[in-house]
Amino acid sequence: MEEKFVKGDKVEVCSKQVGFFGSYFEAKVLSKLPCGSFYKVKYKNLVTEGEDPMPLIEIISADEIRPMPPKLFQPSTFRRHDKVDAFDLDAWWFGEIIGQKGDMFSVYFPTTNDVCEYPLERLRRHFDLVNGHWVSSAARQQRAS
């Protein structure tokens, strides 16, 4: 089921570039192109190179774009094995909490096999887009068991 986006929609763009696979960059739809399933987007955090950097504008395929996940209540903490998205390198990356030291959470990233530490404000609960609906990973795990 393909989503339909219109000018002004806030979205996330999935990177398919080596080293960035599985990361999501925040963007805004500028237009839907008349030829096929492509959109012109302007990134929130990515900028052009050069002396006068401007927000990066790109043409992307519809299969690389999704709506922004819901901003439901932000947890005051996370537990071991919670699925999260961590904000790093201008994007959201999927990971799993594997520990906590003080105010810092250790996150394991399965796509890169890395572990990094983040404060709570750089983490959000992970949601999956399933048949056009956002479902929390915790809810999916409970239904599966």
Please report whether residue 98 resides in a domain. Answer: yes
Please report whether residue 139 resides in a domain. Answer: yes
CB atoms within 10 A of CB 75: 13
Can you give the three-state secondary structure of 33-74, one letter per residue? CCCCCEEEEEEEEEECCCCCCCEEEEEEEHHHEEECCCCCCC
The total domain count for the chain is: 2
Per-residue pLDDT of 60-94, as tens digits, reads: 999 999 999 887 667 788 999 999 999 999 999 99
CB atoms within 10 A of CB 96: 18
Closest CA to 19 of 68, 88, 66, 85: 88
Please report whether residue 55 resides in a domain. Answer: yes
Please report whether residue 78 resides in a domain. Answer: no
CATH number at residue 136: 2.30.30
Please report whether residue 62 resides in a domain. Answer: yes
Range of the domain at 108: 83-144
Whole-model pTM? 0.84
Instruction: Per residue of the chain (145 residues), give pLDDT as tens.
Output: 456 899 999 999 998 777 777 799 999 999 999 887 899 999 999 998 889 889 999 999 999 999 998 876 677 889 999 999 999 999 999 999 999 999 999 999 998 899 999 999 999 999 888 888 888 866 555 544 4
Please report whether residue 75 resides in a domain. Answer: no
Please report whether residue 21 resides in a domain. Answer: yes
CB atoms within 10 A of CB 140: 15
Burial class (CB in 10 A: 0-12, 13-18, 19+), 3: middle
Sequence-separated (6 or more) residues with CB below 8 Å from residue 119: 103, 104, 105
